[in-house]
Amino acid sequence: MKLLDDLLQAAGYRTLTAVDGEQALDQAMQFMPNVILLDIGLPDMSGVDVARAIRNSDRLHKIPVIAVTAYATPEDEAVIRLAGCDEYVAKPISAPELLKLVRRHANFRLIGQEGGGEGS
């Protein structure tokens, strides 16, 4: 998490981090991020369950979710995508590839928002 946070901040993004799924959902509801990077192996609940909760939320369902995970089989990817993740990145991650995905989804969301602006 620290490495991803540092990478995104160095690229100019403002970030929030969460240590578990419940905190991630609480922060997403409070701050309405432009993109969510979601680890599938969380301590309190599966990232798959977090993704499903995001997709089932009236407020959060449009936020792009990028799964970052060590679960790297084709079956794992299928489950993760069915849960609602827009992208799937297996560890070890490629920093340029991850930044490209974040940029694509963050820019798409900002362009499509009424009034624009970060966090709206």
Q: What is the mean pLDDT of residues 34-55?
A: 96
Q: What is the mean pLDDT of residues 60-72?
A: 95
Contacts of 2 (CB under 8 A, 6+ apart): none
Residue 119 confidence (pLDDT)? 37
Contacts of 56 (CB under 8 A, 6+ apart): none
Q: What global pTM score does this model have? A: 0.87
Q: Where are the domains of the chain?
A: 2-110
Identify which has the larger pLDDT, 113 or 70. 70
Architecture of domain 2-110: 3-Layer(aba) Sandwich (3.40)
pLDDT of 117 higher than 60: no
Residue 75 confidence (pLDDT)? 96
pLDDT of 112 higher than 60: no
